Structure 1
Amino acid sequence: MRDFPSCFGENGVQVADSSSSNTSRTAQNLVTCVYQCRLRGRSCLITVTWSKNLMGQGLNVGIDDSTNQCLCKVDIKPWSFSKRKGSKSLEVDSSRIDIYWDLSSAKFGSGPEPLEGFYLAVVVDQEMVLLLGDLRKEAYKKTRATPVPSNAIFIAKREHIFGKKIYGTKAQFCDNGQIHDVAIECDMVGLNDPCLSIRIDSKMVMQVKRLRWKFRGNNTILVDGFPVEVFWDVHSWLFGSALGNAVFMFQTCLSAEKLWASQTLSDPNILPWSCSQKLRDSQLQSLSFSLILYAWKNE
C-alpha cells in the first residue's frame, strides 16, 4: 500500500498532467481505506481500495506489516457476475490468510464504495481480523471464523471527488463516531479574489479569504469536540491547468504535519508515498484519523 502521496511539499501535488485527461477521469472513481489491525499479535495495516471504471467495479486488498513489508495483496479486477462473490487463500509466514467477499446484493451510491448489502472479511488462522459491511451473520457463517471482537481501527481514507463549485463526501472522524457530511465550496469563475469555505453538516466551520495569497495552509476546527487539523493546497486550481486538482486533508492526530514530508514527484502519474511508514512514525492512537481528498473540477 503505497499510494498516499505527500501533498504539501514545495511543489504541491499534481496527479495527472494536462495531456492525460483519461488518467484523471479514471482516477476520480477511487476510494482507499486504511485499517490498523493485529495479525498474530503484531500490528499491521490493511488497505482496502474500491475502484470503478468503464469495465465495472474493482477491489484491492493489501496487508503491510510493521516494517512496511507487503505481506500479501489481492487484486479483484473489474468483475463480471462471477467475481461479485468469492474468496482467496494465501500462505504468509506460516499463517493462512483468507479473504472473502460477497457483493452480489451490494448497493452503491455515486462512488465505488458499497453502501450496504455486502461483506468483506479478512481471516487469519480462522480468526476474524477485519470485517466490513452489514452482512455480518452471513460473513461468519461463510468464513466459520472465531466470533471474537475485532480490534481493527479505521485510521485513514483517501477519496477522489469532483464538482464544479461544491465538493462533498462523508467522513467519520473518530472510532464509532457520527458520520458527517463534509462540503468544500470554492468558486473560481470570474472572481479576482476567490474564497474557500468548508462546511460540516451544513455548518460553516472554516473560511479562507484572499485565496490567491493563501493557496496552501492549515487551520484547526472542532468536530465532535475533537480538534481536527485541516490542510489545503489549491495551487493547481488557481495557477495550474484546467485538469489540475486541489488536495485537502482532515487529520485528528496532533502530529499530522509529519504526514506531509516534502518530496518532488518525478512522474506526476505516480504517487510514491509509503503510508505505512508515515502512519507508524506519527504514532497514531485510537482516535486518530486522516481523510485525504483530491478535488477535481468537472467540465
Structure 2
Amino acid sequence: MRDFPSCFGENGVQIADASSSSGTTLLTSTTPNIKNTQNLVTCVYQCKLHSSSSFIITINWSKNLMGQALSVEINEPTSQSLSMLEIKSSLFSKKRGFKTIQMGSNSINILWDLSCANFSSSPEPIENYYLAVVVNKELILVLGDMEKELHKKMNYSIISSKNSVFVSKTEHVFGKKLYSTTAQFCGKGQVHEILIECDANPGDDPVLSIRIDGKIVLQVKRLQWKFRGNYTILVDGLPVEVYWDVYSWFFGKLMGNGVFLFQTCLSAEKLWGSGQPGGSWSGPLVKDLGQSCGLGFSLVVFAWKNE
C-alpha cells in the first residue's frame, strides 16, 4: 500500500469458520443531516427475479427525537427507474401494513409488520418482525424472522425467490468512547457483534480497539499519530480489510466523526491504485465505492463523538 499509515503486520486474526460469500455490487448512502438524525442504518440488497431482471433495494431505518421512521427505495438499474416508500415517524405507530407501487411495467408490493418488533440501541429491529418486497408476484426480499406470518398474508400465487444478496450496511452511531453495531459478512454466516472503543485517559495517548464477538482483533496505540490506517482480519474464514479514519476526532469540529470500513474481497492496491494516496477516504472514497462492482460485503460505521 502506498503512503497509507499501517500499524500492524500482515497476519490476520481468525474469528469464525463459515462459507464464503460471492461478489456483488456495492452501494453506500450519503451522510444524513446529523442534527436531526440520532441514529441511521442503511442496508442495501441486490435482488433478482427469475427473469434475470435485477433490483437494488435500499432500506433506511432511522430514529430521532420525534421517533422512528423507515424508508424503502427500489432501483432498477437497467431502466433507471426509481420508487420510494417512506413510513415517517407520525405513521410508524401503525407498525403494520402494505403498499402497492407501479414502477414502469413492474408492480411492486411492500409489506411490513413491526407491531411486535424488538429493538436494541439501533433503529433496526432485531427480532419479531418482517419487511418484504414483492415484484410482479415474485417475493424477492424478506427481512426479519416472521416469514411464516408473512406468507399467511400473501396470495398463494406469489413465487418465493431466494436471489437476494446483502450488499452493504452503513450505520451512524453516537457515543463518548464506545460504538457498537452488528454485521453478517457472508450470506448465511453468523451475525457478529462489533464494538469500537477509543480509550483516551487524561495525559495518556489514546488507544483504538476493535472487538468482534468480544475478541480484540485490532488495537492502535498513539492514535493521534496513526489516525488513518488499515489491517486485515479473518471473519467466517473470509479476509476482511479494516480501514479507519479518525482525523476528525482530534483535528476536526467539536462533534467530529470517525469512519470505519469493513470490506470483504477488497485489496489495498485496488483501493489506492487509482491515485488517492494517503488522503482521507471518509467522503470521496466511500462515494466512489458505491460505483464499484464485485467488492463483496461492506460495513461502514460513522462514529460520532458526544461530548
TM-score, normalised to structure 1, is 0.81
Matches within 5 A, 1:1-299: 4-5=29-30, 23-39=33-49, 40-66=51-77, 69-80=80-91, 83-144=94-155, 146-191=158-203, 193-255=205-267, 278-279=289-290, 281-284=292-295, 288-299=296-307
Name whichever of 25-34 and 129-138 sits farther off: 25-34
**In structure 2, distance between residues paired with 1:297 and 1:196:** 14
Shift of 1:2: 7.8
Stretch moving more, 66-75 or 155-164: 66-75
Residue 297 of structure 1 aligns with an amino acid whose one-letter code is K
Question: After the TM superposition, which of the residue ranges 39-48 and 172-181 deviates more from structure 2?
Answer: 39-48
- 1:279 Cα deviation (Å)? 4.6
Task: Kindly state the Cα deviation for residue 278 of structure 1 after the two structures are TM-superposed.
Answer: 4.0
CA distance in 2, matches of 1:61, 1:124: 14
Structure 1 residue 212, shift from structure 2 partner: 1.8
After superposition, the Cα gap between the structure-2 partners of 1:259 and 1:85, relative to the gap in structure 1 and judged at 3 Å, is farther
Deviations 1:125-173 (CA, angstroms, capped at 9, x unpaired): 1110101111112212223252434211111001112222221111111
C-alpha displacement of 1:256: 7.2
Output the amino acid matched with 1:292.
V
In the alignment, the residues of structure 1 paired with residue 80 and residue 271 of structure 2 have an alpha-carbon distance, to the nearest angstrom, of 19
Q: Residue 27 of structure 2 contacts residue 167 of structure 2 at CA under 8 Å; is this kept in 1?
A: no
Question: Where does structure 1 lack aligned partners over 5 or more consecutive residues?
Answer: 6-14, 17-22
Give aligned-pair identity as a percent: 54
**Does the 8 A contact of 2:39 with 2:174 survive in 1?**
no
Deviates more, 1:37-46 or 1:148-157: 37-46
Matched-pair contact (CA < 8 Å) for 1:169–1:181: yes
Note if contact 2:171-2:300 (Cα within 8 Å) is conserved in structure 1. Answer: yes
Task: Give the letter aligned to residue 216 of structure 1.
Answer: R
Q: 1:191 to 1:230 in 2, by over 3 A?
A: farther
Q: CA RMSD in A?
A: 3.0
Contact 1:60 1:76 in 2 (8 A): yes
Structure 2 CA distance, aligned partners of 1:215 and 1:123? 44
Q: Which residue in 2 is equivalent to 1:10?
A: none
Residues 282, 101 of structure 1: alpha-carbon distance in 2 compared, 3 angstrom cutoff:
same
Preserved CA contact (<8 Å) 2:119 2:126: yes
Q: Is the 8 A contact 1:2 1:272 kept in 2?
A: no
Cα separation, partners in 2 of 1:224 and 1:68, compared to 1, 3 Å: farther
Give me the TM-score of the superposition, normalised by structure 2: 0.79
